[in-house]
Amino acid sequence: MDVYNGTTVTHFILTGLSDLPEVRYPLFVAFAIIYQVALVGNGSILLAIGTEAKLHMTMYYFLANLSLLDMFCPSTTVPKMLHNLLTEDHSISFAGCALQLYFLVALAGTEIFLLAVMAYDRYEAICFPLRYSVIITKARCAQLVCGTWAAGFLNSTIHTVSTFSLSFCRSNLVKQYYCDIPQIVALSCSSTYVAEMLALVIGGVLGSRTFMTTLISYVYIISAILKIQSAEGKHKAFSTCTSHLLVVSLFYGTAIFTYIRPSSSRHSPARDRLISMLYGVITPMLNPVIYSLRNTEVKKALRRAVCGRVCSQ
């Protein structure tokens, strides 16, 4: 139930994926399977990269970090969502909501920065292959990865502090299956101007810069590939960046569809919550599928890793 005026909010109520009792158990089974596939798929990528010496390169170091993010990100929301589908208790404590929002924003932000870094890495590899090993060294690679994680968590700290510094004394009903900035800010009974401006300015500046970095990198990449004379050379160059381009398209496409699409009265809240699963769960599940299907070296490493474990048993 909601908490109304005059009462300080000590916990929030998550509405969950659906209000219909008859679909709770099918939804639980479906998203439990999707979550397990995401964990196993990304874990397999990590196993392949860790056990295959040929994959100990900067490109796959970035991929390993992407797989870590795709394991951690749904883990911040899906277990609680699955628990809510099985029980009548949809509450989450004030501190629990703050932690969920903090890690979700931090991991999603880190992934945005990492995708831009991966695009820059492919730009250097394809456009300047002779100087690539000099520019993207292991030390530079580690610096870039640490920078993306630090930027993601710093960005989240700013948003989380500004959001949960607000006063909450109206409703405590969060119209989503997890704690997100727009839904929490909407419940505040104090001025939300600062929190909204921070979300708009910081999110706009960082989001636009990372998106433009990714976009410009691929404009130069495609231009360089088209200048290659031989068909074999073009195919080899495209094969090194196709998987990442698909992942970038999927990530930004689902994010835009989830957060920027125009609202419509024809969309029910339950349907909107299901659509948000595209961004939070479906994308992390599909990323390892894309890399394992499009990358021959990853496929070979996965086969050797799986066969090695089976033979040893």
Burial class of residue 251 (count of CB atoms within 10 Å of its CB; 0-12, 13-18, 19+) = buried
Confidence at residue 161, expressed as pLDDT on a 0 to 100 scale = 94
**pLDDT the model gives residue 153:** 96
The reported pLDDT for the residue numbered 1 is 44
pLDDT at 88: 75
Find the range with the poorest average confidence among 6-10, 117-121, 289-293.
Answer: 6-10
93 compared with 52, residue with greater pLDDT: 93
Residue position matching structure tokens 């996965």: 302
Q: Residue range 23-49: average pLDDT?
A: 90
Of 11-20, 163-172, 176-185, 273-282, give the lowest mean pLDDT range.
Answer: 273-282
What whole-number percentage of the chain has pLDDT above 70? 88
Q: Which residue has the higher pLDDT, 48 or 231?
A: 48
pLDDT at 36 over 60: yes
Q: What is the mean pLDDT of the chain?
A: 84
How would CATH label the architecture of 12-259+269-303? Up-down Bundle (1.20)
- Residue range 74-121, pLDDT digits in tens: 999 999 999 988 887 889 999 999 999 999 999 999 999 999 999 999
The pLDDT, as a whole number, for residue 5 is 46
Compute the average pLDDT of residues 137-154.
Answer: 94
Residue 129 pLDDT class (50, 70, 90 cuts):
confident
Give per-residue pLDDT as tens, 187-241: 988 888 888 888 888 878 888 889 899 999 999 998 988 888 877 777 777 777 8
Q: Is pLDDT above 80 for 32?
A: yes
Mean pLDDT of 171-191: 88
